[in-house]
Chains A and B, each alone.
Chain A
Amino acid sequence: MLITDRERLRDDIAGWAGRYGRERSSLLPILQEIQKKYRRVSDHAMQIVADLLGIHPIEVYGVASFYSFLSLTRQGKYVIRLCRTISCDMAGKESVAQQLRNDLGIGFGQTTPDGMFTLEWANCLGMCDQGPAMLVNDKVYTQVTPQQVNDIIEQCRRAVSVFATHNKEH
């Protein structure tokens, strides 16, 4: 990691610590902010957080490794989480899963080489009556069909393509 990157990370974390306080209870919100901005909670970030909150890095690690929405390795820009619990399974999650694997060319638990997508399983999104359910970053998709998968992925790609930036600038 470059020194400038480290300094940026330190400044960011110090800012969040200022906002959420330096108590033990501020740990999760700070980690969530780190995850949101850097798509991972790095070992370096964990040690900075520990230092600022006056706890041990190992305690931060214990928390960061516990929650599945915090990741130690860098995730893609879009994290797709497909529900694998029984209602979604019976509603046909497997064909959706297969479509996702096909379209992205990766398996569950993996990230595409271009860093765009991470594919993960989720355990119940609370959408049991509208399965199969899928979460793309913060957005929930219900009653997903394999045909829709293609559209959803395409939407994501378009949102960050060169055209998207181009349009925004004008």
Chain B
Amino acid sequence: MSDCKEEPRAPRSTWISQVKTPADAGAIGATVTANIDGQDVKVPMGTTILEAAVKLGIRIPTLCNHADLCVAGVCRVCVVDVEGQRTLQVACAYPIAQPIKVRTHTAKVRNARRHVIDLILSDHYGECYCCARNNNCELQSLAKEYGVDFYRFGHPDKAKYEVDRSSYAVLRDMNKCVLCRRCVRTCIDLQEVGVLEVAHRSHKSKVETFMDKPLGEVICINCGQCINRCPTGALRANDPTYEVWAAIDDPTKHVVIQTAPSPRSAIGECFGLPPGTPMTYQMNTALRYCGFDKVFDTNFTADLTILEEGTELLLRLKKALVDGDKSVKLPQFTSCSPGWVKYIEHFHPDMLDHLSTAKSPQQMFGTLIKTYYAKLNNIDPANIVSVAVMPCSAKKFECNRPEMTSSGYKDVDFGLTCRETAQMISEAGIHLPDIPKSDFDDPFGTATGSGVIFGATGGVMESALRTVIELVTGKKVEQFYDHADIVPIRGFDGVRYAEIQIPDVGPVPDLLKRYFNDWNWLKGATVKVGVCHGTANAKRVLENIRAGGKFAECHFIEFMACPGGCLGGGGQPIPTSPEIRKARANAIYSEDSAYKVRKSHDNPAIWDIYNKFLTDGPCGHISHKLLHTHYTARGKYIIVV
């Protein structure tokens, strides 16, 4: 008690906040030594304890922390003991500003962490074995890690909230929410869409939409990035596997499935393989084993998209440059990403004319299956059930758009995410890595490398450029870019810009003769293109265009709603991080370089379909009816009644 006099009751923690003068005055921004569990590590000033621990290979458990998001420090799972501090500190939000000593697993720390987990569980309704995230849940693994064997503070036996099933894409079950705010940071900071935010205060606080409206009625673009970052099963995709199984089990139905390029590079993760293990041909076998009658490659329509979108671009350029038509909107925007399409419909409805009218590859394929393929094989389109494996949750919304019925039926009946596909495959008793490979079904055959790279950001642009350059110059792309890799537009920079010279022009290919007599108007021109991924970056680019900046002079801009492009989509395996996305991108690009045919217009099946079915060529009357669409100006006003 004697030292009570010397130690004032003012918080002890204030003592330590007086930063001791560093050894030399210029040390700000210099390195500092942190001692964690007896090991020294030199880190730049301002590094968090968590980052320093990762450097040393020391594991500190986290829940609210995420590599893609800003620091929140709300879950308190990562508490550590910092010498000299009265209370435990959160490792993820403690910047090291002076030499410190940290202990990461003292009795106090272990007890505190266990308490935090027990408290979260006391408000976490639901049983693990009937949860979509069973075996892939961060809360579950934390509970295991900290040996939770009983509910110290009880466990709710009744659901507090109804599950929100109003959205085609995303399901919200707030009973499982642990208030880590990852979805909030994803939606507001990463994507800048602003659907979810914590409302109310204290024990009443809850992640809500505007005025707590159902998700289907607010301005959500369905990108599903929140699903990828949710540590528990509070957010998940709207799962149609029951309906798909029912269709497979119905003998009168002809069930076909198309697989997009991105899930192939990621589905292995659901079976314990490292990220970036291509599983394309194993997946074909597995899907046939599940009972799908035909397995097609979405890349075929990715190639078709390139021809349609590329022709549309050339037509727009001609109208604007040669005919002087002022009503033509340039730059042209890509329309493959349904999240991006809904984003622009909501937030920039006045710029919809920039958007290419070409449908996304998924919807093009859906239309062709119920028209071309049905006719070819004498199947009543009413009996065809068309399923799509996509890396995307927004595709579930897209296939339910009322305008997506140009075949006379619902073009694509169900969109499956990569996770749901993995679920179906394992339900059929298959361990994916162990089964033999098999190829895609005809008549669409194997596509080109250009289709494959649609999965990565910059891929659509690269494919389009490969085709446009060859169609216009009549020379091989390899003459301009080594191995036809248009490297300037690759990578993960949020916004990229490139200029492509057209020094010389060649003859007009037969396919485009109906529109163009010669290419002379393009001689010596510079094609300016832009690439961006993530709607936050899309917002930057659109603002730049409005302000008349660099991107206003572009001719063609690729937009992807998800960070990293489709390979980081909301339907991809969980978790996601910059490293994982990089590994998936590497898999996609290596698969591209392995293809013999790497340019969309060299795909023989494409020529086949233009000769036999879409007889008036790209952007012709038939293709306009089947492969193009229109958009709705939605605006961002939320009606509350």
Residues of A within 8 A of B (CB): 43-44, 46-47, 55-59, 61-62, 65-66, 68, 72
Contact = CB atoms under 8 A, between A and B. Distances in A.
Contacts of A65: 199-201, 208
A126 to B, nearest CB: 19
A57 B209 CA distance: 10
Nearest to A43: B640
Across the A-B interface, the 6 shortest Cβ-Cβ residue pairs? A56-B194, A43-B640, A62-B197, A65-B199, A58-B197, A58-B194
Contacts of A62: 197-199
Contacts of B192: 56
Nearest to B218: A58
Contacts of A56: 188, 192-194, 197
B638 interface: yes
A85 to B, nearest CB: 15
7 contacts: A47-B637, A56-B192, A58-B195, A58-B210, A61-B210, A62-B198, A65-B208
Interface in B209-265: 209-211
A61 B640 CA distance: 13
Contacts of B640: 43-44
A48 to B, nearest CB: 10
Interface string B606-641: 000000000000000000000000000000011010
Given A56-B194, A66-B199, A61 B637 contact: no
Nearest to A42: B640
Contact of A59 (B197, B200, B638): B197
B186 to A, nearest CB: 13
Contact of A43 (B197, B199, B211): B211
Interface residues of B, number: 18
B196 interface: yes
Interface in B157-197: 188, 192-197
A149 B142 CA distance: 54
Given A43-B638, A61-B199, 18 more contacts: A43-B211, A43-B640, A55-B194, A56-B192, A56-B193, A56-B194, A57-B210, A57-B638, A58-B188, A58-B195, A58-B196, A58-B197, A59-B194, A59-B197, A61-B210, A65-B199, A66-B200, A66-B201
Nearest to B206: A65
A40 to B, nearest CB: 13
Nearest to A50: B194
Given A43-B638, A43-B640, A58 B200 contact: no
Interface in B447-478: none
A62 B197 CA distance: 6
A21 B94 CA distance: 33
Contacts of A72: 211
A44 B641 CA distance: 11
A57 B187 CA distance: 13
Contacts of B193: 56
Contacts of A58: 188, 194-197, 208-210
A107 B348 CA distance: 47
A55 B192 CA distance: 9
A153 B208 CA distance: 37
A43 B210 CA distance: 8
Nearest to A62: B197
Contacts of A59: 188, 194, 197
Nearest to A46: B210
Given A43-B211, A43-B640, A47-B637, A61 B197 contact: yes
Contacts of B188: 56, 58-59
A58 B197 CA distance: 6
A62 B196 CA distance: 9
B274 to A, nearest CB: 37
A47 B636 CA distance: 9
Interface in B265-293: none
Contacts of A61: 197, 199, 208, 210-211
A59 B211 CA distance: 11
